[in-house]
Amino acid sequence: MKIVVPGGSGQVGAVLARSFAPAGHEVVVLSRSGKAPPGARGVAWDGRTAGPWAVELDGADVVINLAGRSVDCRYGEVNRREIMDSRVDSTHAVGEAIAEASAPPGTWLQMSTATIYAHRFDAPNDERTGILGGDEPDAPDTWRFSIDVARAWERAALDAPLPSRTRLVLLRSAMVMSPDRGGVFDTLLRLVRLRLGGAAAGGRQYLSWVHQEDFTRAIGWLVEHEDVTGAVNLASPHPLPHRDFMRTLREAWGTRVGLPATRPMLELGALLLRTETELVLKSRRVTPGVLTEGGFAFEHPTWPAAARDLVRAWRAGTA
């Protein structure tokens, strides 16, 4: 297959290239600087407007659009605009390129986020019964902003004038756990290594995650299952409360000590690290209804075994 990955120069793009290129697929990454992870060919685009890059989509089999400014920052006015516009504008550009292709790709997998669901503890959110967020009475303004972004991102894809042969799937992905330096697992493990990986604000909030291997296997499964369209949750079937998630990660690393953090400590830490507490305080309880009902079998369904596997790979320096 020819797989085109706009925004594939980051962590998730590296995970995809590492899996699909050695299997003999051609992986093309669209990047503003033209850079690409090992195994992929980089092509320059501006992430906003039509350009020569569009020929890469013409005749491709699959497009996986990941482009978007990192959400790991303070949500001030400028960053908010960049977070929103980089996702909506790039998705419009990809949709237009597909619409104008003479041989449009059969599958468009558009990144979204598990953050689109409501902050809740009572029940998991699958695609059918899950509650979209934004109306929680006590949700901080930053949480509502993230949901506005997720909805606008999905809307931009759904509004694209797609040819009938192109199928659109919205990837509501949980945190993708890979041993890459600078990725989300590396960040959480750093807290554990510094003995700071205790419960955050009590740790009752759920954390949804997916192992990199199941993420790429699920992508392959979605490409093969041509009957699947619309929103699909990419998350392990067993999200768990933050305090249990971090305790398990401490055990996998081999330390018992993990300093807990109160909400004010987290607010101060987030300010110093130029990030937002939403990433740790919002309860993300998301489960993979479409995948499990469709017969997809997770290789790393539970966190204890997945955490041990990731720690082993992190220590070996193999991503």
Residues that bind ligand NAP (CB under 6 A): 7, 9-13, 31-33, 35, 47, 66-71, 82, 86, 90, 111, 113, 173, 175-176, 184
Q: Which of 33, 318 has the CB closer to ligand NAP?
A: 33
Min CB(10)–ligand NAP separation in Å = 2
**252-to-22, 303, 307 alpha-carbon distances in Å:** 29, 10, 6
Min CB(25)–ligand NAP separation in Å = 18
165 conformational bin, left if phi > 0, alpha if psi -120 to 50, beta if neither:
alpha
Terminal C-alpha separation, the chain = 23
Min CB(49)–ligand NAP separation in Å = 11
**61-to-5, 19, 37, 129 alpha-carbon distances in Å:** 11, 16, 20, 32
Euclidean distance between CA atoms 227 and 177, whole angstroms: 28
Structural contact between residues 233 and 291, judged by C-beta atoms closer than 8 angstroms: yes
Min CB(264)–ligand NAP separation in Å = 27
Min CB(223)–ligand NAP separation in Å = 17
Q: Which of 35, 181 has the CB closer to ligand NAP?
A: 35
Euclidean distance between CA atoms 168 and 104, whole angstroms: 12
60-80 b/e with 16+ CB inside 10 Å = b? bebbbbbbbbebebebeeebb
Q: Which of 212, 248 has the CB closer to ligand NAP?
A: 212
Min CB(165)–ligand NAP separation in Å = 25
Q: Which of 84, 196 has the CB closer to ligand NAP?
A: 84
Euclidean distance between CA atoms 202 and 216, whole angstroms: 33
Q: Which of 47, 104 has the CB closer to ligand NAP?
A: 47
Q: Which of 10, 239 has the CB closer to ligand NAP?
A: 10
Residue of minimal CB distance from ligand NAP? 10
Identify the three-state secondary structure at position 135.
coil
